[in-house]
């Protein structure tokens, strides 16, 4: 599993699943204060343990994947960065003179983002964030992960709609995980029979702490477009990566059915 898809996984999983541990926050604080000795370890039900290097979470614009750079170039107006982590995306936008607000469910991540100079950042879960509107909402590093399961997508999309200004946009990325499953001779793939193949179970550990399993969602383009359209959005692919990943833009459809 490529670690540049995992930031939102760490940030948005609910506190019950994470056993009330702030593993991301503790790791980011260690790195920020020069106590870096090891990386976060992630593991899924379809992959072995993998390292999430802490320096990557403090990357500069030049070190970001092209998909992320493309998303930042498309940001406009007032911006909400959902799951800001150490604040790398929001800080870049702030340095460009844009009005950016960031939220994160990790208290430690919010503290680090503030220490790095981010002006507007708060410890909030997306579904609890209300009564504000933005021109751009940014969800990067597998932004669909926050939905957890396919069944959770409508609730999140409808809530995101309430946070958009007129003509606002949601910039969100994900990956199609078909490539992780065995392929048959006819080109078809073996996928789970009881759930969508992009619904994964993750665990995360750092030093002596480890979470319980928690859900995380990767959405293929076609299913995401179907879900977005049925929830009153126009779905547009802005850029595709080299590893079945993509950046999408969602805008409220002119004839919004909901």
Contact call for residues 1 and 135 (beta carbons, < 8 A): no
Distance CA 72, CA 93 (A): 7
Distance CA 222, CA 213 (A): 27
Which residue ranges make up each domain of the chain?
3-252
Confidence at residue 189, expressed as pLDDT on a 0 to 100 scale? 66
DSSP state of 189: B
Distance CA 215, CA 11 (A): 12
Distance CA 69, CA 92 (A): 10
The neighbouring-strand residues paired with 225 are: none
Distance CA 126, CA 82 (A): 7
**Tally of helices (H runs) and strands (E runs) in the chain:** 7, 12
Q: Phi/psi at 92 (nearest 5 deg)?
A: -60, -45
Confidence at residue 188, expressed as pLDDT on a 0 to 100 scale? 67
Confidence at residue 243, expressed as pLDDT on a 0 to 100 scale? 85
CA atoms within 13 A on the CB side of 255: 0
Pairing mode, if any, of strands 164-175 and 134-139?
Answer: parallel
Using the structure block, give the residue that is written with the tokens 């940001």. 75
Confidence at residue 7, expressed as pLDDT on a 0 to 100 scale? 39
Pairing mode, if any, of strands 214-217 and 199-206?
Answer: antiparallel
Confidence at residue 255, expressed as pLDDT on a 0 to 100 scale? 74
Q: What is 3-252's CATH topology? A: Rossmann fold (3.40.50)
Asked whether the whole model's pTM tops 0.85, one would answer yes
DSSP 137-158: EEETTTGGGGG-SGGGHHHHHH
Confidence at residue 20, expressed as pLDDT on a 0 to 100 scale? 64
Ordered per-residue pLDDT tens for the chain, 258 residues: 443 343 345 444 443 445 568 999 999 999 999 999 999 999 999 888 999 999 999 999 999 999 999 999 999 999 999 999 999 999 999 999 999 999 999 999 999 999 999 999 999 999 999 999 999 999 999 999 999 999 999 999 999 999 999 999 999 999 999 877 767 776 666 777 789 999 999 999 999 999 999 999 999 999 999 999 999 999 999 999 988 999 999 999 987 655
Confidence at residue 1, expressed as pLDDT on a 0 to 100 scale? 40
Confidence at residue 192, expressed as pLDDT on a 0 to 100 scale? 78
Distance CA 76, CA 169 (A): 9
């Amino acid at each position: 599993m490529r670690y540049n898809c995992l930031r939102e996984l760490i940030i948005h999983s609910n506190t019950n699943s994470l056993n009330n541990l702030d593993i991301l926050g503790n790791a980011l604080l260690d790195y920020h204060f020069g106590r870096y000795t090891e990386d976060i370890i992630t593991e899924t039900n379809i992959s072995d343990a993998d390292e999430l290097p802490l320096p990557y979470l403090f990357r500069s614009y030049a070190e970001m994947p092209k998909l992320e750079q493309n998303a930042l170039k498309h940001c406009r107006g007032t911006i909400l960065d959902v799951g800001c982590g150490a604040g790398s995306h929001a800080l870049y936008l702030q340095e460009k003179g844009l009005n950016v607000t960031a939220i994160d469910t990790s208290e430690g991540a919010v503290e680090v983002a503030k220490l790095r100079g981010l002006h507007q950042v708060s410890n909030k879960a997306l579904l609890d964030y209300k009564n504000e509107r933005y021109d751009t909402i940014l969800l990067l590093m597998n932004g669909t992960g926050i939905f957890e399961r396919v069944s959770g997508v409508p609730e999140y999309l409808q809530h995101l709609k309430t946070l958009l200004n007129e003509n606002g946009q949601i910039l969100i990325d994900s990956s199609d995980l078909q490539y992780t499953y065995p392929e048959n001779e006819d080109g078809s793939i073996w996928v789970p029979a009881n759930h969508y193949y992009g619904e994964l179970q993750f665990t995360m550990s750092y030093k002596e702490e480890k979470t319980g399993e928690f859900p995380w969602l990767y959405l293929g383009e076609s299913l995401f477009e179907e879900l977005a359209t049925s929830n009153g959005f126009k779905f547009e692919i802005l850029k595709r990566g080299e590893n079945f990943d993509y950046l999408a833009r969602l805008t409220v459809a002119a004839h919004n059915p909901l």
